[in-house]
Amino acid sequence: MLFDRFPSRWALGWLAAALGVPLLLAALLAGWAVAPDRARPAPPPAAAPTGAAAPTGTPAPTDEPVPAAAPAPATLPVVDYDPAPAGFPADPHPLDATPLTEGLRPSRNVAAYDAPGGRPLAFLAPTINGVKLTVPIVERRTGWTAVLLPSANRRLAWLPPGDDRSVVPLRDQIVVERRQHRLTWYRDGRAMKSWPVSLGMPGQSTPLGRTFVLGRTPPPEAVYGGVDVYALGAVPDDPDAVPAGLRGAHIGVHSWHNDDTLGEDVTNGCIRLTRSGQRKLLAEVPPGTGVLVVDALPTPPTA
């Protein structure tokens, strides 16, 4: 289902989709829960999936001067649950399977730019709808830090040096393979668990690329099987394709009251797995964790 925005910090404005089995979530609250599941595929390769650009990694320190940050007007918008402001650069490696191992947490509003030394376009706040924000770091360059942008698909924000944020380790990664209809949870590069999933229907496909876990919310209806939901940083690729009541919502990861449609494309873009699988993710995977959606991971060459 698509989950619509919050009318207040803890109250959720959840709307059911008119197009059959709903899916895309629109809420976050923080925390996590319990339980196990099955299968383990091989870990994602260090190289990017087929058709993707090479991994960026973290460049070695250089003697280049740090580009100065232009003053950020106080009137700039603050990134929230609504679609992020336009103008931010595309993620140059959206299908890079390299795990993102560091997250950045703002302690106050941090100006976000379109490039090192570029234009300030918005502020990243310490929270979105009352939930603490952790954004994965994807690149460092001449003193500036690039992070995945919330409420946008395959977009980066560049942050200047400053003492208004902390950096935390990220051990986990979630990889979703659309052709296999499979979600795999990795920790420290090792496959821990894997589950079959339902994904977006034609015209409302689950968006490809790198995103991350924004936070957690209680299930809005009984059809979610009584298990909390994860909202992601991603939004529908085509907002006009989803039911009108779900526009402005985010993609989510959640369970369902039955497993009848696992392995099928039936949702409004969200990722649906078993109840026990969702409980395991909630118990183990914190907000800020990177999520990668690919058509398929590359097959390792055989001898």
* Cα 23 to Cα 254: distance, rounded to the nearest angstrom: 8
H or E element, residue 172: strand 172-177
Q: How many CA atoms, within 13 angstroms, populate the side-chain half-sphere of residue 59?
A: 13
- What is the model's pLDDT at position 41? 55
- Average pLDDT value over all residues in the chain: 83
pLDDT per residue as tens digits for the range 201-249: 999 999 999 999 999 989 888 999 999 999 999 999 998 898 887 777 8
- What is the model's pLDDT at position 72? 97
* Cα 109 to Cα 238: distance, rounded to the nearest angstrom: 29
- What is the model's pLDDT at position 220? 83
pLDDT per residue as tens digits for the range 160-192: 999 999 999 999 999 999 999 999 999 999 999
Q: Determine how β-strand 127-128 pairs with β-strand 120-124.
A: unpaired
- What is the model's pLDDT at position 93? 97
* Cα 125 to Cα 105: distance, rounded to the nearest angstrom: 9
- What is the model's pLDDT at position 193? 98
Q: Which two tokens stand for residue 198?
A: 């339902």
- What is the model's pLDDT at position 56? 45
**For residue 7, is pLDDT > 50?**
no
- What is the model's pLDDT at position 244? 80
Higher pLDDT, 101 or 30: 101
**For residue 258, is pLDDT > 70?**
yes
* DSSP secondary structure, 226-287, as one string: T--EEEES---SSGGGS-GGGTT-B-EEE--S--TTTTSEEESS-EE--HHHHHHHHHH--T
List CB contacts of 298: < 8 A, sequence separation 6 or more: 45, 47, 49, 50
* Cα 212 to Cα 290: distance, rounded to the nearest angstrom: 4
**For residue 9, is pLDDT > 80?**
no
Instruction: Using alpha carbons, select from 116, 281, 163 the residue that is nearest to residue 215.
Output: 281
Q: Give SS3 for 223.
A: helix
pLDDT per residue as tens digits for the range 262-288: 999 999 999 999 999 999 999 999 999
- What is the model's pLDDT at position 246? 77
**For residue 32, is pLDDT > 60?**
no
**For residue 75, is pLDDT > 70?**
yes
Q: Could you give the percent of the chain with pLDDT greater than 90?
A: 69
**For residue 15, is pLDDT > 50?**
no
How many residues belong to the chain? 303
pLDDT per residue as tens digits for the range 188-211: 999 999 999 999 999 999 999 999
Q: Give SS3 for 15.
A: coil
